[in-house]
Structure 1
Amino acid sequence: MLQQAPTSAAQTTIDSAPLNSFHKRLTLFSSGGPFLDGYILAIIGIALVQIIPNWQMNDWWNGLIGASALVGVFIGGLVFGNLTDRIGRKLMYTIDLVAIIVFSVLQFFVQEPWQLFVLRLLIGVAVGADYPIATALVAEFVPKNWRARLLGGLNAMWFVGATAAAFVGYWLLSIEDGWRWMLLSSAIPAVLILVARASIPESPHWLVSRGRQAEALQILRKTIGEGATLAGITAHDPKAAKLSSRKAFGLVLGGGYLRRVVFISIFWTCTIVTLFAIYAFGPQILALFNLQSGDEANIGYGLINLFFLVGNIVALLVVDKLGRRPVLIWGFVLSGAGLVFLAIYPQAPLGLIALAFAFYAIFNGGPSILEWIYPNELFPTKVRATAVGLCTGISRIGAAIGTFATPLSLTHLGLSGTMWIAAAIALVGAGASYFMAPETKGQDLEQAAAL
């Protein structure tokens, strides 16, 4: 049952409403998907430390298993983003978590690399489905003065999940076949999130787009106050809003929205290619930087996760003051500088290596939080989840290629060559952002999405 928000005689809209307990609960529960994504990707990096020698896996299987969840995210975002626009946010908000729980448990019983590859692919599909669902709900419920911070906060939870996985994995490494328990462990937070999400209602924006104004108004009065109105929510022809998959993708990929898809896909891909490779193969990469495999490498891996989280928090504090564009552009430039140092001095003293990693991780926070802010601000309600799912999927294909190629690159190009490639990717992200990034600071959701 919904928690009754404080009543108010004054008229209130979604964009002008004060932040209340419902907004906080919605954001916390919606952050479960990013938390699980970070956890699932990071835990495999540590699990592979045991899996590779146990199964005597080569670089090909190493890369395939590391990248499998990312390929799944592509499929999930592409298919279920559009489905979310058609059948609503709330139903899909729970189905995807059930799938994550089931597939996480089944990982415990795998006996061969191909079985683990398939299960992690299916987990990725469920995670990819959650991205457009959860972010659309938050974007469509929260006041505009808090939208950037709360949407960006969802991405910060990705790093909380990854950090938690690093320490859980480090603890379980001391257990024989601990990798099985690592992969199973993602089911525990998924169950808790599933239970918590039962109290979240359907999006008023989506309901209005389907001609269900009375239902939308009732939900708003329960969540932001008795004085709530539907002002600021654009009413559409319900029949026109029920776009087929073909028409929805046609709208997203046509006209002015195509430029936005290209921009978001490029900057999002450039943000996560290096990031995901580090998470999938962190202990192995750190060992090449003279952090010996074992306790030292795994502790260093956990600390890098904390630096990523700090960077997200700092970016959240400044994004509404500085604006989206400068946070994005300078984030790429400065994080890329850290990668350049690692490329030039791969044999530098341990303290300098740690500082360069910290520099990269902290300034990566700007582009990271905007992965969630820009896609939800730049597309209208009727295709918001479709667009977010599409951009998520495109970015994950790039990340999957990068993750698959990382062990091969380390073997054939070496550590320095791999870091140079990572720095070049950051430069591409900076250039695309400079020429294409719009400024949506201070705009209402409908205004930001308008062409």
Structure 2
Amino acid sequence: MGAETGRITTDIPARLDRLPWVRWHWLIVIGLGTVWILDGLEVTIVGSMSDALKDPETGLGLSSWDVGFAGAIYVAGACLGALFFGQLTDRFGRKKLFIVTLVVYTCATVLTAFSMAPWWYFTARFFTGFGIGGEYAAINSAIDELIPARYRGRVDVAINGSYWIGAAGGALLTIPLLDPTVISAEWGWRLAFGLGAILAFGILLVRRNVPESPRWLFIHGRDGEAERIVRSIEDTVKEESGERLPETGETITIRQRKTIPFTMIARTVFTLYPKRTVLCFSLFVGQAFLYNAFFFTYGDTLSTFLGVEQTGWYIAAFAASNFAGALVLSPLFDRIGRVRMITFTYVFSGALLGATGLLLDSVTALSLTILGAVIFFFASAGASAAYLTASEVFPMETRALCIAFFYAIGTAAGGISGPLLFGWLIDRASADQDITGIALGYLVGAVLMIGAGIVEAFLGVKAEGRSLESVAQPLTADDRTEEADEPARA
């Protein structure tokens, strides 16, 4: 690796992309990817414990609208946290921020467990989301910059889908925790939130061993440190694989900078890559409305209209299907390609959701869960691919902030409005005990998902098997071109 004054010519990206999969990569997956389990645990606990939180004696006396509001304020915190920590991640590095955001989440979760009034609970939920939102930006960027190109699609989709491991675990945990014969009703829901903090602490211990992104380091003038980290990774991979690593002659020349001006980042998103901006916004709005509307209020729907007292088993089955979909379909995003798979998963799941909305007058708790499991088997892979898309189609200097930006605006549009709309629909429909009153929410979600799938078909980027630098040249690349939307589709 040679360098000139203010410039560096490096082969680090090519060296990272050529590595075979070994145990070291599993360290990255476990240390970084398991945060989605925490998010799934958080959302499921709230959805499963809606009745416990409504009880004024042992809970907090929340209404159905309050439950929806708690979901919305959690998402609002996640949106703001993503924006706040996203720009810090691009400026100060991936590792510092994915430690800080996990600490914020852990502290806020502990405060949630000790909530004494609705305002306390809402505030704690906001800051829990604030930490989780920051995680999305820091973690997705770090994962994509450390995982070899030929595995990036399947790993990213599967890791984002691990959210549903937490969802299933949270649902199953609520079964004994909400059983008054096992634990007092006053303490069961509090203990559930406390368990999330314990899991986060365990992840923090593993995460300390994850290195900083070498790609971030060499762009920010720390090429010596980047070289040491890559050599250490290569030595570990050679030892674990027992193979000699192939040579690579591919290099890139970078103009190193300590910081990237926000004006340059804004120009990148809105001027240099306008088609990718429309694409990412569409994907995030569709999946955010679908998931946050349906899942934040799923437990409430089961208990209010379908007479289910213990929703944990139903939600666990639903969550298991979501994770299975992400896990089973994830390799196809590398083999068949991003555009085809994202288009199919969005359009197909949206169409099924619309059909379910029209059939609500004849569903039972079991049939609704089965329908949801089929829909979200496909939707979970598509939703995970939205994060993959935002993390790989913009230049490295803006990666974390772009993830944060699209997560924030997409989730604000779909993830805040969704739970509020469903909470309002449930409150109105519960007066007549008519479940068809929530069909509007299903139909809106269906339209948004199908629309996003169509946008992907026309504007999607064929990034499978390609280095991040070829999908979107770094802004500091010495030979970068001004427009990369069209070439990247080839």
TM-score (normalised: structure 1): 0.91
Are 1:284 and 1:293, in contact at CA under 8 Å, matched by a contact in 2? no
1:121-270 to structure 2, matched below 5 A, reads 121-174=126-179, 175=183, 176-177=185-186, 178-225=188-235, 234-239=252-257, 242-244=259-261, 246-270=262-286
Q: Distance in 2 between matches of 1:201 and 1:400?
A: 34
Which of 395, 406, 418 aligns to 1:391? It is 406
What's the C-alpha RMSD, in Å, of the aligned pairs? 2.1
Q: CA deviation at 1:349?
A: 5.2
Show CA shifts across 1:401-448 (max 9, x none).
Answer: 211221102334713223222222222222222232222122111111
Matched, 1:308 2:322: yes
Matched, 1:371 2:373: no
Q: Distance in 1 between matches of 2:372 and 2:400?
A: 34
Matched, 1:344 2:344: no
Show CA shifts across 1:40-65 (max 9, x none).
Answer: 11111122221113233334422221
Q: Which residue matches 2:396?
A: 381
Q: Which residue matches 1:37?
A: 39
Which of 300, 313, 326 aligns to 2:340? It is 326
Are 2:318 and 2:370, in contact at CA under 8 Å, matched by a contact in 1? no
TM-score (normalised: structure 2): 0.84
Show CA shifts across 1:44-88 (max 9, x none).
Answer: 112222111323333442222121111011111111111111111
Q: Distance in 2 between matches of 1:224 and 1:392?
A: 33
Moved more, 395-404 or 408-417: 408-417
Q: Residue type matched to 1:205 in 2?
A: R
Are 1:232 and 1:446, in contact at CA under 8 Å, matched by a contact in 2? no
Distance 1:333-1:102 versus aligned 2 partners, 3 A rule: same
Q: Distance in 2 between matches of 1:143 and 1:180?
A: 41
Are 1:104 and 1:185, in contact at CA under 8 Å, matched by a contact in 2? no
SS in 2 for 1:169: helix
Between the aligned residues of both structures, percent identity stands at 23
Are 1:286 and 1:301, in contact at CA under 8 Å, matched by a contact in 2? no
Are 1:316 and 1:369, in contact at CA under 8 Å, matched by a contact in 2? no
Q: Distance in 1 between matches of 2:272 and 2:33?
A: 30
Matched, 1:98 2:113: no
Q: Distance in 2 between matches of 1:300 and 1:348?
A: 18
Distance 1:323-1:210 versus aligned 2 partners, 3 A rule: same
Are 1:39 and 1:164, in contact at CA under 8 Å, matched by a contact in 2? yes
Are 2:50 and 2:300, in contact at CA under 8 Å, matched by a contact in 1? no
Q: Distance in 2 between matches of 1:234 and 1:21?
A: 28
Q: Distance in 2 between matches of 1:173 and 1:194?
A: 28
Segments of 5+ residues of structure 2 without an aligned counterpart are 1-12, 239-244, 430-436, 474-483, 485-490
Q: Residue type matched to 1:156 in 2?
A: G
Show CA shifts across 1:168-204 (max 9, x none).
Answer: 1222111312111122221011000101111111111
Q: Distance in 2 between matches of 1:403 and 1:167?
A: 23
Moved more, 432-441 or 344-353: 344-353
Show CA shifts across 1:134-188 (max 9, x none).
Answer: 1111111111111111111220111111111111122211131211112222101
SS in 1 for 2:103: helix
Q: CA deviation at 1:383?
A: 1.0
Are 2:72 and 2:416, in contact at CA under 8 Å, matched by a contact in 1? yes
Q: Distance in 1 between matches of 2:470 and 2:349?
A: 31
Q: Distance in 1 between matches of 2:248 and 2:325?
A: 36
Q: Distance in 1 between matches of 2:62 and 2:381?
A: 36
Which of 441, 444, 450 aligns to 1:418? It is 441
SS in 2 for 1:124: helix
Q: Residue type matched to 1:159 in 2?
A: W
Matched, 1:432 2:455: yes
Show CA shifts across 1:200-252 (max 9, x none).
Answer: 1111100110122221111011112386989656443223x5113x3254234
Q: Which residue matches 2:24?
A: 22
Q: Residue type matched to 1:320 in 2?
A: D
SS in 2 for 1:57: coil
Structure number with larger C-alpha Rg: 2
Q: Distance in 2 between matches of 1:231 and 1:86?
A: 29
Which of 261, 278, 292 aligns to 2:294? It is 278
State the aligned residue count.
437
Q: Which residue matches 1:5?
A: none
Moved more, 364-373 or 151-160: 364-373
Q: Residue type matched to 2:289 in 1?
A: V
Q: Distance in 2 between matches of 1:169 and 1:257?
A: 45
Q: Which residue matches 1:86?
A: 91
SS in 2 for 1:182: helix
Show CA shifts across 1:346-368 (max 9, x none).
Answer: 13354643432222111113312
Matched, 1:293 2:318: no
